[in-house]
Amino acid sequence: MQNFTFSNPTRIIFGKNTIFKLGPEAAKAGKKALLVYGGGSIKKNGVYAALITALKDNGVAFIEHAGVKPNPVLSHVREGIEKARKNDCDLVVAAGGGSVIDEAKAIAAGVKYPGDVWDFFCGKAEIKEALPLFTALTLPATGSEMNAGCVVTKEETRQKYSAHGAALFPRVSVLDPETTLTLPMAQVANGAVDSLAHIIEGYFTTTDRDAEITDEVVHALARTVIASTGRILKDPSDYNARASMMWSATLALNGLATCGYGGMNFINHAIEHSLSALYDIAHGAGLAIVMPAWFKHHLAADGPARLEKFGRAVFGVRTAEDTIKAFETFFRKAGAPVRLGEAGIPAADIPRIAANAMGLIRLWGMKHEQPEIEKILKNAV
């Protein structure tokens, strides 16, 4: 087990009818919010109405920045920064899924930075400060509500890159599982796949394989995500399954599930970001294609030990091959694509996808070359 520092300053308020609690919290940080949201789901499920009442009742004025796209884009981030500056916003409130929260983070940091916000994403500048951020999460998936990262796509170059910095941790995130009852089943699937992806990256790439507590945290989270998703697919109104799923997704990428691991990397994410950058598919759908392909490569390169351990603890299977099959079966049952063709991506595009992924692989300091990435992607044909 490696040395580690675990620090997470985000305050979580969890449960039914909790959105109103964001009002007094936001009022402690400022007087005028930039209210960031997406394509309108929050207006259909009551989140918008609850949030604006909470802000108004606590004397927090707000300017709206709507229309965040799934896979948020740099041009819209820049618009948000200008809007926040022009209106003297002193805090940011985000309501929605990971895309909305990520764009809100980029805006919060961009407002405080005199240069181009993309500098944070391509490694030219470090995030030193940001406007205080408050979130109401409506889609359990990314963990953005309790972490210090954000992902944005630069449209012209199709680069989907991430920025990180302690200033990006939300001050407070409200997690009301009832807000997830309106999710389309495809988004339930994407969220389940993404949560699993966040815990398998560290588990399978760590060079220190003796951190039993963290292995067990990963097993417990994986079992819970899989069981909760099964319950939601059977009965979408199952509140306790929604609640377990929501908290699991947050814990999957808040730093807890990698404590004590060493030398790990996020290779599945680096490859997936190329798929969603080039084809604008959902992050979770891209991961369902990449993960089984990468597992096959991992088995050939690193042997069966980790796949066997994970399979025994999570799926009740004995072999590495059966563990990979169990992942695929779960992804298919949830309705996610598991081959490039199932997402309409031609095999002939593999060199282009791998070339795009190399940008992020280099930026994240990973030791992988394009031929290896192409080989992994061929497992997804």
Q: Which is nearer to ligand NZQ, 181 or 220 (CB)?
A: 181
Contact region with Zn ion (CB under 5 A), list: 108-116, 186-194, 217-225, 328-336: 186-194
> Does 337 contact ligand NZQ by CB under 6 A?
no
Q: Which is nearer to ligand NZQ, 194 or 215 (CB)?
A: 194
Contact region with Zn ion (CB under 5 A), list: 12-20, 187-195, 308-316, 358-366: 187-195
Do 13 and 173 form a contact (C-beta atoms < 8 A)? yes
Q: Which is nearer to ligand NZQ, 40 or 371 (CB)?
A: 40
How far, in Å, CA of 119 to CA of 106, rounded? Answer: 11
Provide, rounded to whole angstroms, the least separation between the CB of residue 16 and ligand NZQ: 14
Residue from the set 71, 135, 205, 356 that interacts with ligand NZQ by CB under 6 A: 71
How far, in Å, CA of 32 to CA of 75, rounded? Answer: 23
How far, in Å, CA of 125 to CA of 154, rounded? Answer: 16
Provide, rounded to whole angstroms, the least separation between the CB of residue 175 and ligand NZQ: 12
> Residues in contact with Zn ion, total (CB under 5 A)?
1
> Residues in contact with ligand NZQ, total (CB under 6 A)?
35
Tokens of 338: 């598991």
| CB environment 90-109: b (16+ within 10 A), e (fewer) | bbbbbbbbbbbbbbbbbbbb
Dihedral Cα 213, 219, 220, 224, nearest 10 deg:
160
Provide, rounded to whole angstroms, the least separation between the CB of residue 249 and ligand NZQ: 9
How far, in Å, CA of 294 to CA of 300, rounded? Answer: 10
Q: Which residues are CB-neighbours of 137 under 8 A, at least 6 positions away?
A: 96, 97, 101, 145, 173, 174, 175, 179, 246, 250
Q: Could you say which residues in the range 12-41 bind ligand NZQ, by CB under 6 A?
A: 38-41
Residue from the set 194, 201, 215, 308 that interacts with Zn ion by CB under 5 A: 194
How far, in Å, CA of 195 to CA of 217, rounded? Answer: 13
CA distances from 272 to 23, 227, 330, 358 (A): 36, 25, 19, 11
Please classify residue 236 by burial: count the beta carbons closer than 10 Å to its beta carbon, then call 0-12 exposed, 13-18 middle and 19+ buried. middle
Instruction: Quote the strand ranges of 139-188, DSSP E.
Output: 149-154, 159-164, 172-175
Contact of residue 337 among Zn ion, ligand NZQ, none (CB under 5-8 Å per partner type)? none
Do 29 and 91 form a contact (C-beta atoms < 8 A)? yes
Q: Which is nearer to Zn ion, 286 or 359 (CB)?
A: 286
Residue from the set 70, 170, 202, 292 that interacts with ligand NZQ by CB under 6 A: 70
Q: Could you say which residues in the range 233-292 bind ligand NZQ, by CB under 6 A?
A: 253, 269, 283-284
Q: Could you say which residues in the range 191-220 bind ligand NZQ, by CB under 6 A?
A: 194
> Does 103 contact Zn ion by CB under 5 A?
no
Q: Could you say which residues in the range 134-193 bind ligand NZQ, by CB under 6 A?
A: 138-139, 141-144, 147, 149-151, 179-180, 182-183, 187, 190
Q: Which residues contact ligand NZQ (rule: CB under 6 A)?
A: 38-42, 45, 70-71, 96-100, 102, 138-139, 141-144, 147, 149-151, 179-180, 182-183, 187, 190, 194, 253, 269, 283-284
Q: Which residues contact Zn ion (rule: CB under 5 A)?
A: 194
